[in-house]
Structure 1
């Protein structure tokens, strides 16, 4: 993981994050100063960022917001104080309202981003300066250390490019914490088609089948926010297993990039999971990321032990064939 150290210093009133990357300083600079790239990693998993305003000039401002799986938005703003391309920039960082104005009762921070070359690539040192120890503790309590670490640890795939990062690796499963699992798979195909394949029943029934020997017997989908879905599968041609299904509702829909749904095993009292699907395209390939939130680590481990990753890989491999024929 890129982040190598996060240190808080109540005496110096600083929070320092250090990360190492296998990319030159100029490439790292671009990732932090071009909004389209910054949006791909700045928000931690489950809270992707958008930068509707970004004026990289002394006195210029950037306004961003992050959206939770349930649709809550958290806003922030930067005012650029110093810019030394491609070595560093300094901003005043504020928690903000939807207009970008600072929130009362929340600290204002001076943040220095420094980029320096190393023998293997580059290093970023991010130092956040606070006005008081209380302000530092307030931000730490807010989850800044964990959130920043998870966000910056997503930067490798942006720097490398999606094909180099994910091609040929198949379906990858990462345990992020006790209740969150992230699944990624690169698909050959444009984002619009991959989105349709997750929303349209006639396409879903062609690929979302898991291992060979199963068919999707029920596929009812209302992809609008508040709409419900129901999937059912059954074995065919004597394949082993019993029919089962899932049902749930759509909580968030941002075509063609993000959809958040609940997922419940039909006919059981098992708790629902929260499935956060995001898509990003680069050079005709689309990275599928599914962030799954489980109620507890026991449920997480039980589901992973079913061979879920292998079943998803079989489905995603089938999806690429379906997209080739659309």
Structure 2
């Protein structure tokens, strides 16, 4: 078990946890800032977590849910107040209702994570500050200390599993709920360049093409909340795609933007009636590059399965390969 010490100070009122790991600091940092990794250990054993949002920048938020062996659910949220990669980050941690909004009837706390190198490997110091001594005792009585020990005992397995998260792994699909899917891919490039490649129409036309044989004659973007975008693709003349493909496209509205970390848009296929999707793009910088994480919320499980079954993720993988080879390496 990596934990070396847990101390509580009722006068603080704080609970401090120290742990050491035999890996470089950036690898430990990534375990906490990559949603695919943190959800494998944030919940205690038997209570796996699912992160539907995990921003990792000042002013950003996280939303997660833990499910127990008998179907119990416990939801929570983070509000990031400070982030100094890869040295420290601070969040407000609280309980959430089923709809994801903060549960103000339950206590919240301030959690500071500090990562520092030592001769034995990186050291993690996590200090939780409570609103009062009574809150400290209440949460310890609810099993917070034992739950933290159980959760952190799983970190070693995540740190050892390098292949699942390496920068050469293809785009991955993860079902988060009946209506939510996360598609993720580590792209070998710095955050600022990856963000620009998602915002600059000239760059988008060069890589966001899916399989070979397609062009993007229409690429209209918006950088202001409330603005609309429009993408259209058509087969190259004489190419293989021209034998079976037809022009198609998507349009939508920009709902939220926090450059260069996050954007949220609606998406509707042009010419198709009915509700569309909400797409949340988040770009956490990791040791091997930038994680392109897209959480898609569908109006129904049937539409979710239909769209995933079209080969969409394979097309996205072709685009990410082109992004690396033709845009980020230029």
TM-score greater than 0.5 by the shorter chain:
yes
Corresponding residue number in structure 1 for 2:218: 218
Question: Does the alignment pair 1:64 with 2:92?
Answer: yes
Corresponding residue number in structure 1 for 2:258: 254
Corresponding residue number in structure 2 for 1:78: 110
CA distance in 1: counterparts of 2:20 and 2:193, whole angstroms = 35
Question: 296, 299, 309: which one pairs with 2:313?
Answer: 309
Change (3 A) 1:65 1:25: closer
Alignment of 1:111-150 (within 5 A): 111-112=144-145, 124-125=149-150
Question: Does the alignment pair 1:45 with 2:45?
Answer: no
The TM-score normalised by the length of structure 1 is: 0.61
Change (3 A) 1:156 1:319: farther
Q: For 1:45, what is the secondary structure of its paired residue?
A: strand
Question: Does the alignment pair 1:26 with 2:21?
Answer: yes
Aligned Cα root-mean-square deviation (Å): 4.3
Change (3 A) 1:224 1:88: closer
Change (3 A) 1:126 1:319: closer
CA distance in 2: counterparts of 1:221 and 1:294, whole angstroms = 22
Between 280-289 and 229-238, the greater mean CA deviation after superposition: 280-289
Corresponding residue number in structure 2 for 1:170: 170
The TM-score normalised by the length of structure 2 is: 0.61
CA distance in 1: counterparts of 2:161 and 2:172, whole angstroms = 17
**Superposition deviation, residue 178 in structure 1:** 1.0
Change (3 A) 1:235 1:126: closer
Gaps of 5+ in 2: 1-18, 40-50, 56-61, 63-78, 84-89, 113-121
Alignment of 1:199-214 (within 5 A): 199-214=199-214
**Superposition deviation, residue 254 in structure 1:** 1.2
**Superposition deviation, residue 65 in structure 1:** 6.3
**Superposition deviation, residue 162 in structure 1:** 7.7
Q: For 1:267, what is the secondary structure of its paired residue?
A: coil
Q: Would the aligned equivalents of 2:111 and 2:126 in 1 still touch at CA under 8 Å?
A: no
Q: Would the aligned equivalents of 2:208 and 2:319 in 1 still touch at CA under 8 Å?
A: yes
Change (3 A) 1:87 1:63: closer
Q: Would the aligned equivalents of 1:187 and 1:286 in 2 still touch at CA under 8 Å?
A: yes
CA distance in 2: counterparts of 1:162 and 1:204, whole angstroms = 30
CA distance in 2: counterparts of 1:208 and 1:263, whole angstroms = 15
Question: 250, 270, 273: which one pairs with 2:274?
Answer: 270
**Superposition deviation, residue 287 in structure 1:** 1.4
CA distance in 1: counterparts of 2:247 and 2:157, whole angstroms = 38
Residues 170-200 of structure 1: CA deviation (Å, up to 9, x unaligned): 1111122211111111111111110001011
Q: Would the aligned equivalents of 1:65 and 1:73 in 2 still touch at CA under 8 Å?
A: no
CA distance in 1: counterparts of 2:317 and 2:270, whole angstroms = 23
Corresponding residue number in structure 1 for 2:65: none
Change (3 A) 1:280 1:257: same
Residues 236-280 of structure 1: CA deviation (Å, up to 9, x unaligned): 224221111101111111111111111110121132111111112
Q: State how many pairs are aligned.
A: 245
Residues 32-60 of structure 1: CA deviation (Å, up to 9, x unaligned): x97x8645456822254443269xxxxxx
